[in-house]
Amino acid sequence: MRRDHTMSPLKVDLFDTRTPQQPLRAELRAAIDRVLDGGRYILGPEVAAFEEEFASFCGAEHGIGVANGTEAITIALRAMGVGPGDEVVVPSFSFYASAEAIPPTGAIPVFCDIDPQTFCVTAETVRAALTSRTKAVIAVHLFGNLAPIAEIEALGVPVLEDAAQAAGSLSTPGRPGGLGTAATWSFFPSKNLGGFGDGGAITTSDAELAERVRMLRFHGSHDKVTYEHVGYNSRLDELQAAVLRVQLPHVDRWADGRRAAAEHYAAAGLGDLVDLPRATDGSRPAWHLYVIRSPRIEALAVRLGEAGIGHKAYYRRPIHRQPAMVCELHLPGTDEAARTHLAIPMSPVLDRPQADAVVAALRG
Ligand SMILES: Cc1ncc(COP(=O)(O)O)c(C=O)c1O
């Protein structure tokens, strides 16, 4: 963008979902028309095609669309055999839903710590939370950074990837969604792959687990005649699937844009002012959120606000300190990240002038 001194300072939003979607408008309208013309709105051809396309994108054998990313976790855990009396290890530094989805299975959330530099769990932080009752670990790929799934699995416990924030992220062993026993996804509109409403999915390469998920999302039934489990009405809508199918082929390009935006920040000198998020070993995150840390974060947030730069502290109060989940625990990495983090603008189209504007505002 060409700018001169007569222009007012550049304001930058926290997200930009509209600009990347703009060139797809005609295709999106055609996809919606296709659903209206077909007259199938629940579990029709669009969901079936998206499930296949999305599973193949993740490098998993099976994809099952569900209503949202929260129910995806509950259903996946139940399909993994989690139930009353079990414990599920989950990081406290995550979106509340990562833990909220556990009690509906009958199991208890056990909170573990994170590495504040990567915002992800590690094998060490998970090991500290394991007991003889641990049935599964939820490893959250927070902000698009990838948790070390193989190292956690090596502890001998099944891992569910909470991949809600990680579409488009890459790693040496493969993509999220195909790394653990199963993975859950959210297609909330602001996500790297977002619909025009709520939506979610579960991916797995375990055929029996996939079959249990399919039943659970549909009232515990194969055929709507015999009901074998108490399940859920939790389905991805045809309209959302149609919209997601248009966007899926662009996710990798958008992820490249997000990685380029992180490079713009680095080139603009952001690392001299604050701590930058560190990619976990072997991963190339599609930064869903770009989250910096500083001991002076509140003052920096004020500067950004004054300059018209979008920013947000996502998890200032970690889950184990939320009223519904409160418990006495010493999680120093979590507390440090909670106290010092701040998301700054990130999108597939964030360019160098925008990165310069953010860094200039932080400099004050
Ligand atoms: C890490 C994480 N887990 C779970 C969820 C829940 O997804 P949803 O909002 O689709 O229920 C979200 C997103 O909102 C999330 O960011």
What is the average pLDDT across 211-233? 97
Model confidence at 1: pLDDT above 80 = no
What's the mean pLDDT when you consider all of the chain?
97
DSSP letters of 283-334?
EE---SSEEEE-TTHHHHHHHHHHTTB--B-S-SS-GGGSTTT------HHH
**Distance, CA 163 to ligand 1 centroid (Å)?**
9
Q: Is 201 in the pocket of ligand 1 (CB under 6 A)?
A: no
**Distance, CA 318 to ligand 1 centroid (Å)?**
15
Quick one: pLDDT at residue 9? 81
Distance between the two ends of the chain, CA-based, in angstroms?
22
Quick one: pLDDT at residue 3? 46
Rounded to an integer, what distance in angstroms lies between the CA atom of residue 66 and that of residue 75?
9
Model confidence at 2: pLDDT above 70 = no
Rounded to an integer, what distance in angstroms lies between the CA atom of residue 54 and that of residue 72?
15
Q: Is 203 in the pocket of ligand 1 (CB under 6 A)?
A: no
Crossing angle (nearest 10°) for helices 352-363 and 251-267: 40
**Residue with tokens 């840390």, as numbered in its chain:** 293
**Distance, CA 359 to ligand 1 centroid (Å)?**
29
Q: φ and ψ at 95, to 5 degrees?
A: -65, 145
**CA angle 235–60–22, rounded 5-degree value:** 65
**Distance, CA 130 to ligand 1 centroid (Å)?**
24
pTM here?
Answer: 0.97
Q: What is the pLDDT of residues 151-182, one digit of tens each?
A: 999 999 999 999 999 999 999 999 999 999 99
Q: Which tokens is 90 given?
A: 């989950």
Mutate to test the pocket of ligand 1, among 90, 145, 165 (most ligand atoms within 8 A of CB): 165
What is the average pLDDT across 241-260? 98
Model confidence at 7: pLDDT above 70 = no
Q: What is the pLDDT of residues 113-138, one digit of tens each?
A: 999 999 999 999 999 999 999 999 99
**Distance, CA 188 to ligand 1 centroid (Å)?**
7
Q: Is 100 in the pocket of ligand 1 (CB under 6 A)?
A: no
Mutate to test the pocket of ligand 1, among 15, 186, 193, 240 (most ligand atoms within 8 A of CB): 186
DSSP category for residue 61: S
Quick one: pLDDT at residue 169? 98
What is the average pLDDT across 78-86? 98
Rounded to an integer, what distance in angstroms lies between the CA atom of residue 237 and that of residue 215?
16
39 φ/ψ sector (left φ>0, alpha ψ -120 to 50, else beta)? left
Crossing angle (nearest 10°) for helices 238-247 and 45-58: 40
Q: What is the pLDDT of residues 301-354, one digit of tens each?
A: 999 999 999 999 999 999 999 999 999 999 999 999 999 999 999 999 999 999
Q: What is the pLDDT of residues 175-216, one digit of tens each?
A: 999 999 999 999 999 999 999 999 999 999 999 999 999 999
Rounded to an integer, what distance in angstroms lies between the CA atom of residue 212 and that of residue 66?
13
Rounded to an integer, what distance in angstroms lies between the CA atom of residue 165 and that of residue 98?
12
Q: What is the pLDDT of residues 35-55, one digit of tens each?
A: 999 999 999 999 999 999 999
Q: Which tokens is 39 given?
A: 């007259």
